[in-house]
Amino acid sequence: MHVLEALRPLLQRVDYPADKAEILHTVRVLGAPPELLDRLATLPDYRYGSADSVLDALRGLA
């Protein structure tokens, strides 16, 4: 499964708006594996309004 596809269901459980630290914390608590946490760690420091905005940011970093 592609990393972004694997992240989507986890990111949909984050309470938005959320910043990078809040997103990382939530997906870590939800049991995200290290490779997904590593990918999220590349996010720019920003306050995100939705799971889609996080995924868009990650796509822009690819």
pLDDT tens by residue, 15-60: 999 999 999 999 999 999 999 999 999 999 999 999 999 999 999 8
Quick check: helix, strand or coil at residue 47?
Answer: strand
Count how many Cα atoms sit within 13 Å of the Cα of residue 55 in the half-sphere of its side chain: 15
φ/ψ of residue 24, rounded to 5:
-60, -45
pLDDT at 62: 58
Neighbours of 37 (CB within 10 A): 14
What is d(CA 49, CA 52) in angstroms, rounded to the nearest whole number? 8
pLDDT at 2: 87
